[in-house]
Amino acid sequence: MATTTADQGLIPKRLFVLSCVALTVTAMTFAIRAGMLNDLGTEFNLNKTQLGWTAAMAFYGFPAATILGGLLYNAIGPRLIMIVAFLGHVLGLLLTIFSGGFLGLLISTFCIGFANGSVEAACNPMIANMYSGNKTTMLNKFHVWFPGGLVIGSLAALLIKKMLAETGSTWQLEIAVMLIPTLIYGWMVFTTKFPDVAPDKSDRTDTSKNIKALISPLFIVMCVLMTITATTELGTQQWVGSLLESSGAQPLVILAIVTGLMAVGRYFAGPLVHALHPLGVLLFSAIVTTVGVFALSVASGPMTYVAAIIFAIGICYFWPTMVGFVSEYLPETGALGMSVIGGVGMIGLAVWTPVIGGWIDKATTTATASGLTGDAVTLAAGQNTLSKILLFPVVLVLAFALLLILRKRGLLSSPKLTP
């Protein structure tokens, strides 16, 4: 990185660590909430559909922040966006702890989602600019900390539940734990020099041209597919506690296994992408995910862990490869295109999360009416819901196979960037 007068005093390594801690917090909010949805339902007498709407608010806040932050980044810089992220996390976590019911949970979860999106909006371009000669490697290392943070959050929640098993509900303490890394990165935000935003006159940062480029059939198709990949990956994980609580396996352990494998896979993704090309990776992911979701829908006991491993290998590359595809095949959309594709993924997840909750409620009613009781009801409901989720990766297999065929026939090619 070339050092200018404005950059004097910058410590890229410190800024990178700050970014990783902040991303870890965003992941912990997802993991711990996924593991405590049932506790919230019991505490506030909420059904699965209401819990779905509660979880969905984070997925509305995220795209609102990424798109707004992406549009404002060059004007206000990463520091101010990170201050918004810090304040959003603190406010959202405290509001959750002291929430009095459904409405309070909706508001607090939106604040957390907005904070999560702000972290992405600030850190992605900042890291790319700081490590301009090695941006792909450093961005991959940065995004390792989303699944890595999911592992940390899952294990932290599990430890708290084990230590305080006799005290009953522990969800407030699980939320409070997230304040520790939040305060760490908040302190770093206020004590670290951030880079100034340098003006960029290229077409790729011309917002009006970026917006026009979004109106492309290929981009629209990829946005639709992004809603499905995001729901398959994150929607299933969000409901893992309810879907698998009676399978004979520990849901938080499953979440830790899945996200741990995702972190490793993303860290070493380079050779696979080089060998299969992004579309090949996406098709591979869709096929393996289909097998994984099917296995989860029929597995019980120790085999649930095996099914989870297959599922993890499948979903591992979905999010970063979808964003990479937009960068490679639709470069004229610029940073806005990458922000929008991520935001659309979260919007899709927000729409489908309460739907999945409704599927669980309906399947539970059906299982009860058929005479099942106890764990048999929740197991049947979880497996029935997973059999519906299976449709998502099946659609992805067909879509990515078609796009790969078009590429093989020369009808879909990667355009060259204009300097």
Domains of the chain, earliest start first: 9-196 (1.20.1250.20), 207-409 (1.20.1250.20)
Place of tokens 């067909």: 398
| Residue recorded with tokens 């100034």 | 196
Tokens of 146: 């989303």
CA 45, chain centre distance (Å): 27
Q: What's the gap between Cα 25 and its chain centre?
A: 12
Give whole-number Cα distances, 140 to 20, 234, 310, in Å. 11, 19, 22
C-alpha distances in angstroms, 369 versus 293, 299, 342, 380, 387? 26, 23, 41, 12, 19
Q: Do residues 140 and 267 make contact, with C-beta atoms less than 8 angstroms apart?
A: yes
- Closest-CA residue to 251 (of 376, 157, 174): 157
Average pLDDT of every residue of the chain = 83
- As a whole number of angstroms, the distance between CA 157 and CA 147 comes to 15
The single residue listed with the structure tokens 């909006």 is 121
User: For residue 144, what are the contacts with CB-CB under 8 A and spacing of at least 6?
Assistant: 263, 266, 267
pLDDT at residue 171 in the model: 79
- Element of type H or E holding 6: none
Q: 121 and 70 in contact (C-beta within 8 Å)?
A: yes
Residues 6+ apart with CB under 8 A from 38: 241, 242, 245
CA-based nearest residue to 116, from 237, 13, 31, 192: 31
Rounded distance between C-alpha atoms, residue 75 and residue 198, angstroms: 10
How many helices (H) and strands (E) the chain has is answered by 18, 0
Per-residue pLDDT of the chain (419 residues; tens, 9 = 90+): 444 445 567 888 999 999 999 999 998 987 777 667 777 777 788 877 788 788 778 878 999 998 898 788 777 888 999 999 999 999 999 998 888 788 888 999 999 999 999 998 888 878 877 876 666 567 767 888 888 888 888 788 878 878 876 666 677 888 889 999 999 999 999 999 998 765 555 555 667 788 888 888 999 999 999 999 999 988 887 676 667 766 777 776 777 788 788 888 888 877 777 787 888 889 999 999 999 999 988 887 888 889 889 999 999 888 888 877 887 788 787 777 777 888 898 888 878 878 888 898 898 899 888 888 777 888 888 888 889 999 999 999 999 999 999 888 877 765 443 33
At 169 the pLDDT is 65
Q: Would you tell me how many other CB atoms lie within 10 Å of the CB of residue 331?
A: 17
Using one digit for the tens of pLDDT, what is the confidence trace for 220-278? 999 999 999 999 988 887 676 667 766 777 776 777 788 788 888 888 877 777 787 88
Q: How many CB atoms lie within 10 A of CB 266?
A: 22
pTM of the model: 0.78
Please check whether residue 160 is in contact with residue 170, taking contact to mean a CB–CB distance below 8 angstroms: yes
**Cα angle vertex 217, ends 216, 222, to 5°?**
100
The neighbour count for residue 285, using CB atoms within 10 Å, is: 28
Token look-up 């078609």 returns: 402
Q: Which residues of 173-211 are buried (b: 16+ CB within 10 A; e: fewer)?
A: bbbebbbebbebbbebbeebebbebeeeeeebebeeebe
**Looking at residue 272, what DSSP letter applies?**
H
